[in-house]
Amino acid sequence: MSRNGHVADESWQMIEQAVFRLFEELAGKNAGDHVAIGGRLAELGWSEIEAEYSAEARELLFRAQGRSLALTDCLDRIMLAELARLLDGPADRVMLPDLTAGCVPGSAAGRVSGIVLGPLEGRIVVPVSGPTGTVSVGVVDASRLDGQRLDTFDASTYWTRASGPLDVPLVEASTQWNQALAAARRALATELVELAERALRIAVDHVSVRVQFGAQIGSFQSPRHALADAWAVLSGARALLGESWRDGGDLSALGAKAAAGRAHRAVSDVALQVCGAIGLTAEHDLHRYVTRGFQVDALCGSHDQLEALLAERLFEDHTPGRALPAVVSWAE
């Protein structure tokens, strides 16, 4: 394993290169489209890769997605993998909670509502909250739901607000839904960290070549300190994320996504500041990584929502003298 927890052998490096090329191709040929990626992954022998590398393979998909800005069904794929044992057949999408709900599935009086990534088509797995915090799931054909494409902050994304009647059998799925949600948060955190990394690199490159008052901007203390602080925040989020992939639990996934969203916001603020007005123009790449990150952060709980939820989780059963649960362990 490498320092960052990635496999360091030559075969893995070849896999990384192939996946990065695939996502760059998808982003170039299918700009603005939501792509089902299963067939292209099968061409790479993805089932064998996942069997050998497991978590590293999942992580790689979302690093590649963040780097390329491609739009794929990868998030649906990893959530469906956690829910597959409960379903009576294949499914195509998972209905995610509305943004205001954070991570609580929505249902009321026999109806469901939520967000579907991409167009509303195929068979949709719908989670439904129970009265005591339980979650059940059912599968609804997209033709039975009403869908409206959302006017999103990142205009290049394709999200659909879906709603409709709930008249299908439900299966109790609290454990599996929590596992699917944790998998989604780890994946989204990975994408957010990669998006922040790209934004920070753009900002560093900018201050390295831009000249003011006869000197490179990067030679001035203010931008140097701001970029160093942003890098430190991003490094902390990356460490939490690496621990989450190793741990595999829902609490570490929650913390990782909260930290990744916070880090992306910190990096975006600094990058936009040091790049100035040019970073906001359509011709410049910076805004693409900033707006996509803000969009991704909103899924499955924004960093603000998750920080509040994390505090509730940590302190809900706390009594004086009792240690808080460990979120991250660190060993030299």
- Which residue segments constitute the domains of the chain, with CATH numbers given? 10-72 (no CATH), 85-172 (2.40.110), 176-315 (1.20.140.10)
Please report the DSSP string for 99-121 in residue order: GGGTTPPEEETTEEEEEEESSS-
Per-residue pLDDT of the chain in tens (332 residues, 90 and over written 9): 443 445 557 889 999 999 999 999 999 886 778 899 999 999 999 999 999 998 899 999 999 999 999 999 999 999 999 999 999 889 999 999 888 766 666 665 678 899 999 999 999 999 998 877 889 999 999 999 999 999 988 989 999 999 998 888 899 999 999 999 999 999 999 999 999 999 999 998 887 766 565 556 655 567 788 889 999 999 999 999 999 999 888 999 999 999 999 999 999 999 998 888 777 777 888 999 999 999 999 999 999 999 988 888 877 765 666 666 565 544 43
CA of residue 156 relative to chain centroid, distance: 16
Rounded to whole angstroms, the Cα distance separating 324 from 33 reads 44
Secondary structure E strands in the chain: 93-94, 106-108, 111-117, 123-129, 135-141, 146-149, 159-165, 171-172, 211-212, 215-216
Rounded to whole angstroms, the Cα distance separating 79 from 60 reads 16
Rounded to whole angstroms, the Cα distance separating 76 from 97 reads 13
What is the pTM for the complete model shown?
0.89
- The count of residues in the chain is 332
Residue 92, classed as helix, strand or coil, is: coil
Query: What is the enclosing helix (H) or strand (E) of 24?
Result: helix 10-29
